[in-house]
A and B are shown apart, each in its own frame.
Chain A
Amino acid sequence: MGVLELRDLCIEYSLGNGAALAVDKVSLAIGEGEYLGLVGESGCGKSTIAKAILGILPRNGRVVSGEILYRGRDIVGLSVAEMNRLRWQAIALIPQSAMNGFDPVYTVEQQIAEAIDAHVDWPVARKRERIDEMFALVGLERSRLTDYPHQFSGGMRQRAMIAMAMVLDPDVVVADEPTTGLDVIVQDQILHRIKQIHTSLKKTMLLITHDMAVVAENCDRIAVMYAGKLVEHGAHDVFERPFHPYTMGLCNAFPDLADVGRALVSIPMAPPPLDAMPPGCRFAERCPFATDLCRSEEPELSSVGEGHAAACHYIARAEEFRERARLYETWQAGAVAT
């Protein structure tokens, strides 16, 4: 059984004139000590899932149906007090925007101490020791503890955020686009830091990102989301033998050192708006292999290998698609056709 499990999770945002289903029947499980990467374009619902897990959806967002199970217990609809007991101790968050993740008028140390105080009653000495330990873990100097967030660089702030997330030794860590807005070198450092924490502390982790390469490099398993739906998930197999054309597109959209000189693929157009979903497969409009069946009937996730599933009508033709998906022209032609 997974430590964290989503079952048919549907999350909706109410808008001025209706509602948008941001997450549609997503089922996903993260096993003990597993590092799962959740990938997708912006607006596909991946950050919404992170917010739902921590119960911090914005006012207009709510879980319409489905369950979020933490160690077998459904945490959707828990009272604030019950949820607060789980937050940070059971499930901690490394947020998307370290830039604004800290309150600007308190020192970093005060804010980390605040997280401790909210859950456990430690003497001052122990708190200080623990915070020092965390700063060492993320490679920050302890003299910077009394600094204010604005005195940190973006990368340092994100490391301080990681220190804060780890301070209560949480059971599960959700990292929501932890490297957005940082330069590539710092991105790499941060991701290594997270990976290191995962391996040395055997943490169960969920990494949310739009970057396939990051997942390929760091995670044990990958789940691909498209327009609120889970379209494919599995282990490293997903990169080597993708079954969903969207995954194929994503894989080919990133440069590969082993295959220099190949033209990078770009998937034309943008995902459909959440409040106007097409009836069939949501990717059909952008898919170069789409048929009438795709446009009328929605494919279900079906198993394509050990722990590997994809939601495409043409799983059987995956081999052929994979070959064609490597070509830049395939995707451009698809765009013209639709």
Chain B
Amino acid sequence: MNNLRLYLLRRLALLLFVTAAVLTILFVMFKLLPGNPLSVFIDSNFSEEMIRRQKQLWGLDDPLWLQYVRYMWNMLTFNFGTSFFQMTPVRDIVVEKLLHTGAMIVPAVVLSVVLGTLLGSWLGWRRGSRQEGAVVIGLLALRSVPSFFVGIIVLMVFSYNLGWFPPGGMVSIGGHGDSFLGTILSLDFLYHLVLPCLVLMTREITSPALLLRSTMLEVKGSDFLDILRAKGLPERRIVMHATRNALLPLVTDVAVMMGFLFQGQVLLEIIFAWPGVGRELVTALNDLDYPVAQACFFVMALIILMFNFVADVLYAFIDPRVALS
């Protein structure tokens, strides 16, 4: 038990350290970025004095270390400032966009994991058969095709040619629900979700399927399965033991997958005009909306780190051997 606590503390310390490192890198990056955040506010007709006053107002003439400390404090307290263009608190924007991205990713991941797990254990079982070979090749192909390519093809076929699904957006124009919950529970939303979710799944299903196939093969050779059989356990109990062992690597895989999906959907969100955090980041960068861009970067990195942390913790609970090593 002590070991477990120590392990968790170590992981937590690592999480904090990496977060601080990410923030520092972001700070440096934005300092090095060509262009000036003030260019949005400064008109070419401004006098030297007015420019100086602007700098003072935004704290840009303070010493660098003070700017850094202030920046760190604000970021760590999720005080991201106000968007240059939307004139709303960045925090609200980021939260909203994250929810939108989540609304696309979570269903896709859940479906991918469930179907991928079933497919993977079937593949592990049918090891060596012709179907197995064909499916594995298919999965590898899906894995190699970039999702924006699949996205464009799917849009072309199902939206422009067949007209079955809308070409993009999260809801129909004017169809915004009152709340986020109201929106994602509407049929209109589901209708818009189908295509992007499908495209995401074509890729995300490959990882659990291939992973479970190989771990299932590994577990199938374990001696303890023989002992379980010798103990006279019914078949389903034995399969349960095998699956629980085969699922171990999947837990980490899914958590890491979730983290990466939150940041990785820039292209897909643009193709499907999905108002998510990835698209917001690109818009913010184009507009030189520094606070929004910075917050998006930070939140995406933080989400990946959090999911990695969750994966480590889950793993320690599921596999008792982890905390010890």
Q: If A104-B245, A105-B318 touch, does A93 touch B235 (CB 8 Å cutoff)?
A: no
> Separation in Å of the B217 CB from the closest CB of chain A?
13
Contacts of A87 in B (CB 8 A): 229-232
> Separation in Å of the B179 CB from the closest CB of chain A?
42
Interface 0/1 of A35-63, CB less than 8 Å to B: 00000000000000001001110000000
Contacts of B231 in A (CB 8 A): 87-88, 114-115, 118, 164
Contacts of B245 in A (CB 8 A): 103-105
Q: If A95-B223, A95-B226, A148-B321 touch, does A103 touch B232 (CB 8 Å cutoff)?
A: no
Interface 0/1 of A98-118, CB less than 8 Å to B: 011111111000000011001
Residue with the highest number of chain A CB atoms closer than 10 Å, among B230, B235, B241, B248? B230
A85 touches B222 (CB 8 A): no
A93 touches B227 (CB 8 A): yes
A272–B110 CA distance with the chains assembled, in angstroms: 54
A92–B231 CA distance with the chains assembled, in angstroms: 7
B237 CB–A CB distance under 8 Å? yes
Interface 0/1 of B197-240, CB less than 8 Å to A: 00000000000000000000000001110111111111101000
Interchain CB contact (< 8 A) of A150 among B230, B233, B248, B320: B320
A101 touches B227 (CB 8 A): yes
Contacts of A97 in B (CB 8 A): 223
A104–B223 CA distance with the chains assembled, in angstroms: 11
B319 CB–A CB distance under 8 Å? yes
B319 touches A104 (CB 8 A): yes
A158 CB–B CB distance under 8 Å? no
B70 CB–A CB distance under 8 Å? no
B232 touches A88 (CB 8 A): yes
Contacts of A114 in B (CB 8 A): 231, 233, 237
Q: Is the interface of B mostly helix, strand, loop or mixed?
A: helix
A5–B125 CA distance with the chains assembled, in angstroms: 35
B324 CB–A CB distance under 8 Å? yes
> Separation in Å of the A113 CB from the closest CB of chain B?
11
B53 CB–A CB distance under 8 Å? no
B126 CB–A CB distance under 8 Å? no
B31 CB–A CB distance under 8 Å? no
Interface 0/1 of A322-337, CB less than 8 Å to B: 0000000000000000
Interface 0/1 of A134-168, CB less than 8 Å to B: 00000000000000101100000000000010000
A184 CB–B CB distance under 8 Å? no
B55 CB–A CB distance under 8 Å? no
The residue in chain A whose Cβ has the minimal distance to the Cβ of B222 is A100
> Separation in Å of the A159 CB from the closest CB of chain B?
15
B52 CB–A CB distance under 8 Å? no
Contacts of B228 in A (CB 8 A): 103
> Separation in Å of the B178 CB from the closest CB of chain A?
46
A105–B323 CA distance with the chains assembled, in angstroms: 13
A88–B234 CA distance with the chains assembled, in angstroms: 13
A101 touches B320 (CB 8 A): no
A89–B232 CA distance with the chains assembled, in angstroms: 9
A118 touches B222 (CB 8 A): no
A119 touches B320 (CB 8 A): no
A119 touches B321 (CB 8 A): no
Contacts of B321 in A (CB 8 A): 104, 148, 150
Contacts of A80 in B (CB 8 A): 235
Contacts of B232 in A (CB 8 A): 83-89, 115, 118-119
A164–B244 CA distance with the chains assembled, in angstroms: 21
The residue in chain B whose Cβ has the minimal distance to the Cβ of A102 is B224
A103 touches B224 (CB 8 A): yes
Contacts of B319 in A (CB 8 A): 104-105
B233 touches A84 (CB 8 A): yes
> Separation in Å of the A136 CB from the closest CB of chain B?
21
B226 touches A105 (CB 8 A): no
B230 touches A54 (CB 8 A): yes
A103–B239 CA distance with the chains assembled, in angstroms: 12
> Separation in Å of the A223 CB from the closest CB of chain B?
22
Interface 0/1 of B227-271, CB less than 8 Å to A: 111111111010001001100100000000000000000000000
**A85-B232, A115-B233 given; 17 more Cβ-contact pairs under 8 Å:** A54-B229, A56-B230, A87-B229, A88-B230, A88-B231, A92-B230, A95-B226, A95-B230, A96-B223, A100-B222, A103-B228, A103-B245, A104-B224, A104-B321, A105-B320, A114-B231, A148-B321
